[in-house]
Amino acid sequence: MTHVFHRHLRSTPPVADSAAGMRIRDADGRSYLDASGGAAVSALGHAHPDVLAAMHAQIDRLSYAHTGFFTTEVAEQLAHELMRSAPAGMSHAYFVSGGSEAVEAALKMARQYFVEIGQPQRTHFIARRQSYHGNTLGALAVGGNAWRRAPFAPLLVPATHVAPCYPYREQRADEAPAQYALRLAAELEAAILAQGADRVIAFVAETVGGATAGVLTPVADYFRAVRAVCDKYGVLLILDEVMCGMGRTGTLHASEQEGVVPDLLTIAKGLGGGYQPVGAVLAQGKIVDAMSQGSGFFQHGHTYLGHPVACAAALAVQKVIQRDELLPKVRADGEAFGAMLQQALGDHPRVGDIRGRGFFWGVELVADRGSKRPFPAALKLHAAIKKDAMARGLLCYPMGGTVNGVDGDHVLLAPPFIASRDD
Ligand code: PLP
């Protein structure tokens, strides 16, 4: 009998025992090809010697010091490294232990920014349907995954949810991508005006949507149009790249491919590649300056923020990605991976759409290709696919999302950047 409070309480998962490179081995000796890096986490695969060595060295030197008392050399180095490659105008990295914490911190930073600059009436967030920003209450409030929100809805602060950029289902047949982008931006503008232009704190969006609707790649111009609307009303743009960031789409930040610079950028999974729980919020200088010149304090914090071993792991992961030139590899092999998926699955009667960038691909499953009708939720198709794939030694990340109010199924493939074409 297990005493671990597992996610699923009617079955106990296999015991993961060891891992190296692309493979995880369970206690019964079964080996699994890790085609999803967990949930797009393991950017370098498992047991990378450089990352392990960096973590060991940090543990031997200093394994913990509370950030209320100290900074550490390794946190400073990691922040320096992240700023070197950050979007224009970013000045500081705020370290946390994961994606939900990063989103919570970003929401509070945005709110406190407006308090500091004398606009405390801004209290409302606008985000998107079919999005996921984490499971804590603030992140869940902006998230648009209906199933995850449902039991907790009465506890969530009200937020407005507009349409995500979801060309497969929501771009009209007679609409060019640029027109679709403008229609979505107009919807955002209407939502801002409905709240009152001076009452909105921020628009929150995943640059490339991940865990709710499969990989949602935006059309060109969507984020530029959205950025322009935010700027018009002084609304901040928070981009959540917890899943799609840190190289996953072939550039360090997915927003680089959209030609926009966010005010706050959340990163997590690929930052530490699963070697340690670590995430960060990258913040524009104007936000940090408002706090440093105002109260002098960000009114937030967790015991483990800036944990030295987590920072050492993240720093090592990022150095390996650069040294081994993994981003150009992800771009080149990602294209080949997409072509392989198209070739293998493109004509399958149950595959509605295959979309992605770099090493971040989603396969949307439909009961009927013509009408794009999803499978009924009660079928729990995603659970069956996960089980069947594992039985065949493959780890992929199937999900049931919500498509126009109806549940839909997708399989996410997000292999470690080290994956070879043979893998
Ligand atoms: N934001 C996005 C875009 C995510 O995909 C996730 C996790 O999947 C989160 C936030 C939450 O991250 P975590 O599970 O580390 O709390």
**Residue 376 pLDDT:** 86
Whether ipTM tops 0.90, in short, is yes
**Residue-wise DSSP of 200-255:** EEEEEEESSB-TTTS-BPPPTTHHHHHHHHHHHTT-EEEEEETTTTTTTTSSSSGG
d(CA 80, CA 6): 38
DSSP label at residue 87: P
* For the CA of 139, the nearest atom of ligand 1: 10
Classify 99 as helix, strand or coil. Answer: helix
DSSP label at residue 150: G
**Residue 403 pLDDT:** 60
**Residue 379 pLDDT:** 85
> 309 C-alpha to center of ligand 1: Å?
21
**Residue 401 pLDDT:** 65
Mean pLDDT by 10 residues, the chain (423 residues): 89 95 98 96 98 98 97 98 97 98 98 98 97 97 91 96 95 97 98 97 97 92 98 98 98 98 98 98 98 98 97 98 98 98 97 97 95 88 94 95 70 97 94
Name residues contacting ligand 1 (CB within 6 A): 39, 98-100, 103, 132-134, 206, 210-211, 240, 242-243, 268
- CATH number, span 16-47+325-413: 3.90.1150.10
**Residue 407 pLDDT:** 64
The residue whose CA has the least distance to atom 12 of ligand 1 is 99
Q: Where are the domains of the chain?
A: 16-47+325-413, 54-323
Classify 131 as helix, strand or coil. Answer: coil
> 193 C-alpha to center of ligand 1: Å?
29
**Residue 405 pLDDT:** 64
CB 6: neighbour CB atoms within 10 A?
A: 11
> 343 C-alpha to center of ligand 1: Å?
30
Domains 16-47+325-413 and 54-323 share a fold: no
- The CATH topology of domain 54-323 is Aspartate Aminotransferase; domain 2 (3.40.640)
**Residue 146 pLDDT:** 85
d(CA 183, CA 169): 14
The residue whose CA has the least distance to atom 5 of ligand 1 is 243
> 134 C-alpha to center of ligand 1: Å?
5
**Residue-wise DSSP of 310-379:** HHHHHHHHHHHHHHTTHHHHHHHHHHHHHHHHHHHHTT-TTEEEEEEETTEEEEEE-SBTTTTBPPPGGG
Mutate to test the pocket of ligand 1, among 133, 142, 241, 244 (most ligand atoms within 8 A of CB): 133
Mutate to test the pocket of ligand 1, among 132, 145, 275 (most ligand atoms within 8 A of CB): 132
Contacts made by residues 284-292, CB under 8 angstroms, sequence distance 24+: 284/89, 284/90, 284/91, 285/89, 285/90, 285/91, 285/92, 286/89, 286/113, 287/109, 287/110, 287/113, 287/236, 287/263, 288/91, 288/92, 289/91, 290/113, 290/116, 290/117, 291/112, 291/113, 291/116
